[in-house]
Amino acid sequence: VNDSYGHGTGDQLIRAVAAGLKVLIPQGAVLARIGGDEFAIAFLSDGENAAALQLSEQILDFLVEPLEIGRRVVVVGASIGIAMSPAGAIDREELVRRSDLAMYKAKEAGRARMTLYDPSMDADREQRNALELDLRIAIESGDLTLAYQPLVDAGTHALTGVEALVRWNRPGHGPVSPELFIPIAETSGLIESLGLFVLRKACETAKQWPELNVSVNVSPGQFRNPAFTDYVRYVLKQTEIEASRITLEITEGYMIQNPQRTRQSIERLKGLGVKVALDDFGSGFSSIGYLRQFGFDRIKIDRSLVMGVNEDKRQREMLQATVALARSLDIPVTAEGIETEGQAVAMRLFGCDCLQGYLFGKPLTAERITEMLDE
Ligand code: C2E
Ligand code: CA
Ligand code: CA
Ligand code: CA
């Protein structure tokens, strides 16, 4: 059960879900709470998985409806994994293990999904476990590094800042993309120490560049932690960096689910003197009307939008309107993923004051950034 609004898996909620499930399951089926917010349903079928798929669909349909818990209305969803034991050939523990694995696949695929177990999931899981173990070692032994991508003034193209991007060279495998290992760090609880490493390293390095702004990515898992502000305060103090030179970039996913908490967190962070930017704007569902209330210091337009600026008339118009709206809220806008002169010119014309992309520089070593400043 996924309680998407973060109200927690209180007993009342679990009881309400269980009551609903009891009504849905076929006669003779067994319903058990495995622990936390996980349930298992076991039943005999005719050897086909149609019955299990049908039941799963009914459960997902049931959970689509908001549940009334006390005076609160709670929206929940479920990720469902299905495993079969033909002619009872697979023992109970293995069956639970397989459905659990399938459930995690369902979770990864997005909300409200059901997934049938297949043997390739075992290989995937093993690879993932190995990756997670190596990542843990890399964090503990300080093997992660940071690359710094230039941020330039839209008018003069002068270097005004950098975005710190984490890099991992996995022994025996080569570089692994953060888009692959950040989500793993999130689900395995490693994100806290990874995030702390990145923040500290970025702040330490920033001290050699008093003229630059340094942006640091904050993942939802970090931001969700009530102690995150304390971490930031601690690192700022420890590294003695000027807080106003640090920008924390957060993405919109978490914000939509928890507007109230997001607003509070942003307020507290701003209280420390750091800037807060909304990253990947336009890639998801964010409504611009939302933006004002969060008090973002900056918006970063997602690369996927910028890419088509000179190709597709409609996309161009949408982009233009988006930037104009942000500007009307007095929020400065950065365009990311600029690869061509044409894109740079267009984004400046639309009102972006800051540009980022391969045209101005790929993510570089700290030494290269220092050289650029000396040039
Ligand atoms: P992001 O925050 O949107 O970062 C920008 C990504 O776009 C970077 O990929 C950068 O190398 C790439 N990029 C920049 N300009 C261009 C361009 O002109 N063309 C193309 N094709 N790509 C461009 P990278 O470094 O692979 O990072 C991917 C994502 O991983 C980041 O997206 C961010 O969400 C996450 N990430 C990276 N470092 C960190 C970190 O230290 N902490 C957290 N939480 N997330 C991180
Ligand atoms: Ca859950
Ligand atoms: Ca970013
Ligand atoms: Ca981005």
Best residue among 146, 151, 163, 165 to mutate for probing ligand 1's pocket (most ligand atoms within 8 Å of CB) is 165
pTM: 0.83
Residue nearest to atom 32 of ligand 1 (CA): 179
8 Å CB contact between 354 and 332? yes
From ligand 3's centre to the CA of 187, what distance in Å?
Answer: 20
From ligand 4's centre to the CA of 286, what distance in Å?
Answer: 14
State CA 178 to chain mean position distance: 11
pLDDT tens for the chain, 375 residues long, are 876 555 555 778 888 889 999 999 999 999 999 888 899 999 998 878 899 999 999 999 998 888 888 777 888 889 999 999 988 889 999 999 999 999 989 988 877 899 999 999 999 999 999 999 999 999 999 899 999 999 999 999 999 999 999 999 999 999 999 999 999 999 899 999 999 999 999 999 999 999 999 999 999 889 888 899 999 999 999 999 999 999 999 987 667 667 788 889 999 999 999 999 999 888 766 666 677 888 999 999 999 989 988 888 888 998 898 899 888 889 999 999 999 999 999 999 999 999 999 999 999 999 999 999 998
| Ligand 1 atom nearest residue 222's Cα | 44
As a whole number of angstroms, the distance between CA 273 and CA 244 comes to 5
Confidence at residue 287, expressed as pLDDT on a 0 to 100 scale: 64
The number of beta carbons lying within 10 Å of the beta carbon of residue 334 is 26
Pocket of ligand 1 (CB under 6 A): 149, 165-166, 177-179, 182, 198, 217-219, 279-280, 303, 336-339, 356-358, 363
What SS3 class is residue 354?
Answer: strand
Confidence at residue 8, expressed as pLDDT on a 0 to 100 scale: 52
Burial class (CB in 10 A: 0-12, 13-18, 19+), 70: exposed
Confidence at residue 238, expressed as pLDDT on a 0 to 100 scale: 96
Confidence at residue 35, expressed as pLDDT on a 0 to 100 scale: 81
As a whole number of angstroms, the distance between CA 338 and CA 165 comes to 17
Going by C-beta distance under 8 Å and a sequence separation of 6 or more, which residues neighbour residue 183? none
From ligand 4's centre to the CA of 279, what distance in Å?
Answer: 5
Confidence at residue 14, expressed as pLDDT on a 0 to 100 scale: 86
| Ligand 1 atom nearest residue 178's Cα | 30
Nearest ligand atom owner, CA of 179: 1
From ligand 1's centre to the CA of 36, what distance in Å?
Answer: 34
Residue nearest to atom 11 of ligand 1 (CA): 363
From ligand 3's centre to the CA of 163, what distance in Å?
Answer: 7
Report ipTM (2 d.p.): 0.96
Confidence at residue 10, expressed as pLDDT on a 0 to 100 scale: 72
